[in-house]
Every structure is written in structure tokens, then in C-alpha cells.
């Protein structure tokens, strides 16, 4: 399923890159990445809680997300589905590699200490295997969770749980288990990630 979607996205891209690439050639990684800063913050570290930081994000996650936004009925979002369609696969790769090398700035966020403590336990049990280092790691296709904006994390988990965004099989299983063990698991986890700066 996941793979099919990727293939589909590549097909879409193949069509797009003809019109997407101007006669003038491809812009530099920095020029491309700079256009993101207006919304995602300087070098991809956001100062607005509804918009995620994209600095330090793994190139794999970045590429996958952008391709998914380009796909019809792909990842759920109102703005990024429109923006992502403006870039060729080559341009997306340039941006992905650029942001992967930037350090993510983490800001102090409000959190509930008790929930965060319970969240750490849940994280260790259900999430740490893929989202290593307490969710700080950006290995493979795992998004950075620690220090990411909690407003954004709430949107994301709502979308996953309510079926608007597709989870990987692995994640689906773990989320189900975590929520079965504790109905308030998501809130606790998000408090934990928000507690890290």
C-alpha cells in the first residue's frame, strides 16, 4: 500500500517535472529552502506552534511527505498539498538534504509535568523502538517528536487516529496498544515530547 502510493507519486511527479522545471534550470538547495522559512521558520526551525519545525528532519521523511502531499488523496493537509505540487522530485531532494543538515531549535513549551512523566513511560514502551532517543532521533522515516510543537503533534495524532492520515502497519499496531493500555496515551505522549527542549 505504502509502496504503491510512492510509485503513484513518482508517476505524478514525472508529469509535473516537465512543467515544474523552467527553461532556466533548477534553483539551488538554499534558494529553494529559503522559500520555506516564511512559514516554517529560519532554516526550518518554526516559532509558531501550529507549523512544525522541518530542520533536522530525515531526508527520507521529507521526501516521502512531499511526495505524499502531491498524490491525490495522499497526506491530509490544506496548505502543503497545494505547495508541494510546485516542486519536481529533484527540487524536493535538494530541500530534503538541506534541511536534514540543519539543527532544529527547540523552544520551551507549556506542558503538564505529571502527564509528561507518564508519557515517557508510554514512549519507552511503545514508541522508542522507531522514534529513538526519546523521540529526538531522525533516523530513516521517523519524524522528530521531542521538542516538536505540541499543537502540531496534536493535529497529527488526531489525523492518524481519526483515519485522515495513514499510519504504517507498525505504528498502527503500537498506537492501538498504547491507547488500549491508557485511553489518554496520546495526550501524555505529546506532553512528554513537548517537555523536551
Residues that bind other proteins (CB under 8 A): 16, 19-20, 22-28, 31-32, 34-42, 46-51, 78-79, 82-87, 91, 107, 151, 155
Residue 1 or 24: the one with the smaller Cβ distance to other proteins is 24
Of 112, 95, 18, 5, nearest to 59 by C-alpha is: 95
Least distance (Å) between residue 124 CB and other proteins: 29
For residue 22, the cross-strand partners are 25
> Residue 129 has what DSSP assignment?
T
Residue 9 or 142: the one with the smaller Cβ distance to other proteins is 9
Least distance (Å) between residue 32 CB and other proteins: 5
Least distance (Å) between residue 83 CB and other proteins: 6
Dmax over CA atoms of the chain, in Å, equals 57
Of 162, 96, 178, nearest to 129 by C-alpha is: 178
Residue 27 or 179: the one with the smaller Cβ distance to other proteins is 27
Least distance (Å) between residue 30 CB and other proteins: 8
Least distance (Å) between residue 140 CB and other proteins: 27
Residue 99 or 126: the one with the smaller Cβ distance to other proteins is 99
Give me the torsion for CA of 23, 25, 29, 32, rounded to 10°: -10
Helix (H, G, I), strand (E, B) or coil at 86: coil
Residue 43 or 166: the one with the smaller Cβ distance to other proteins is 43
First-residue to last-residue Cα distance in the chain? 35
Distance, in Å, from the CA atom of 76 to the CA atom of 165, rounded to the nearest integer, reads: 6
Amino acid at each position: 500500500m505504502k509502496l504503491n502510493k510512492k510509485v503513484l507519486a513518482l508517476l505524478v511527479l514525472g508529469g509535473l517535472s516537465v512543467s515544474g522545471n523552467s527553461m532556466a534550470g533548477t534553483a539551488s538547495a538554499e534558494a529553494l529552502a529559503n522559500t520555506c522559512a516564511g512559514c516554517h521558520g529560519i532554516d526550518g526551525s518554526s516559532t509558531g506552534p501550529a507549523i512544525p519545525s522541518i530542520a533536522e528532519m530525515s531526508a527520507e521523511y521529507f521526501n516521502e511527505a512531499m511526495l505524499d502531499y502531491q498524490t491525490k488523496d495522499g497526506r491530509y493537509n490544506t496548505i502543503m498539498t497545494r505547495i508541494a505540487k510546485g516542486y519536481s522530485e529533484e527540487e524536493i531532494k535538494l530541500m530534503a538534504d538541506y534541511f536534514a543538515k540543519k539543527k532544529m531549535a527547540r523552544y520551551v513549551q507549556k506542558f503538564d509535568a505529571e502527564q509528561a512523566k507518564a508519557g515517557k513511560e508510554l514512549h519507552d514502551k511503545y514508541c522508542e523502538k522507531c522514534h529513538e532517543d526519546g523521540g529526538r532521533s531522525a533516523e530513516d522515516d521517523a519524524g522528530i517528536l521531542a521538542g516538536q510543537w505540541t499543537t502540531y503533534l496534536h493535529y497529527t495524532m488526531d489525523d492518524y487516529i481519526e483515519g485522515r492520515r495513514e499510519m504504517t502497519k507498525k505504528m498502527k499496531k503500537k498506537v492501538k496498544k498504547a491507547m488500549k493500555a491508557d485511553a489518554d496515551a496520546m495526550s501524555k505522549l505529546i506532553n512528554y515530547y513537548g517537555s523536551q527542549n
